[in-house]
Copies of this chain bind each other. A is one copy, B any other.
Amino acid sequence: MMKELTRGLLTAILAAAALYPTSTMAQDRPTDPSLKMPTLEDLIPGGETYRYTESLYGLQWWGDACIEPGIDSLVSVNPKNGKKTLLFTREAVNRALEQAGVRKLSHLYDIRTPWPDKPEALLPASQKFAVYNWETGQVTPRGDLPKEPAANYDLNTESMGLAYTVKNNLYVNGVRVTNEPEGIVCGQSVHRNEFGITKGTFWNPQGDMIAFYRMNESMVTPYPLVDITQRIGVVDPVRYPMAGMLSHQVKVGIHTPATGRTLYLNTGDVKDRYFTNITWSPDGRSLYLIELNRDQNHAKLCRYDAESGELAEVLYEEQHPKYVEPQQPIVFLPWDDTKFIYQSQRDGWNHLYLMSTDKGEETRQLTAGPWLVQGILGFNEKKREVIITATKESPLQSNIYKVRVKDGRMTALDNGQGVHNAQLSASGTYVIDNWSAPDVPRVIAIASTADGKETARLLTAKDPFAGLVMPTVETGTLKAADGVTDLHWRMLKPADFDPTKKYPVIVYVYGGPHAQMIVGNYMYTARGWDLYMANKGYIMFTLDNRGSQNRGLEFEQSTFRHLGVEECKDQAEGVRFLQSLPYVDARRIGVHGWSFGGHMTTALMLRYPELFKVGVAGGPVIDWKFYEVMYGERYMDTPQQNPDGYQETDLTRLAGNLKGHLLLIHDDHDDTCVPQHTLSFLKACVDARTYPDLFIYPCHKHNVLGRDRVHLHEKITRYFEDYL
Contacts and interface: CB of A to CB of B under 8 A. Distances in A.
A323 to B, nearest CB: 23
A691 B718 CA distance: 9
Contact residues on A (Cβ < 8 Å of other chain), bracket: 35 or more
A499 to B, nearest CB: 32
Interface string A686-724: 100101011111110000000010110011001000100
A696 B677 CA distance: 13
A221 interface: yes
Interface stretch (A224-232, A450-458, A547-555): A224-232
A696 to B, nearest CB: 6
Interface in A209-250: 221-224, 226, 228-229, 231-235, 240, 242, 245
Contacts of A682: 695-698
Contacts of A229: 680, 683
Interface string A120-156: 0000000000000000000000000000000000000
A132 B691 CA distance: 51
Contacts of A222: 232
A710 B245 CA distance: 37
Contacts of A242: 231-232
A718 to B, nearest CB: 6
What 8 A-B pairs come out closest when comparing CB atoms? A683-B698, A224-B235, A221-B232, A228-B679, A233-B676, A228-B676, A679-B698, A694-B694
Contacts of A691: 711, 714-715, 718
Interface string A659-692: 0000000001000001110011011001001010
Given A222-B232, A232-B674, 19 more contacts: A221-B232, A224-B226, A224-B233, A226-B226, A229-B683, A231-B242, A231-B676, A232-B242, A233-B675, A235-B235, A679-B696, A682-B695, A682-B696, A686-B697, A686-B708, A689-B710, A689-B714, A691-B714, A693-B695
Contacts of A694: 693-696
Given A686-B697, A694-B695, A695-B693, A625 B223 contact: no
A224 B223 CA distance: 12
A342 interface: no
18 contacts: A224-B235, A228-B675, A231-B625, A232-B674, A232-B676, A233-B675, A668-B679, A679-B696, A682-B696, A682-B697, A682-B698, A683-B699, A686-B708, A686-B711, A689-B710, A691-B715, A693-B695, A694-B696
B234 A224 contact: yes
B697 A711 contact: no
Contacts of A683: 228-229, 698-699
Interface string A19-63: 000000000000000000000000000000000000000000000
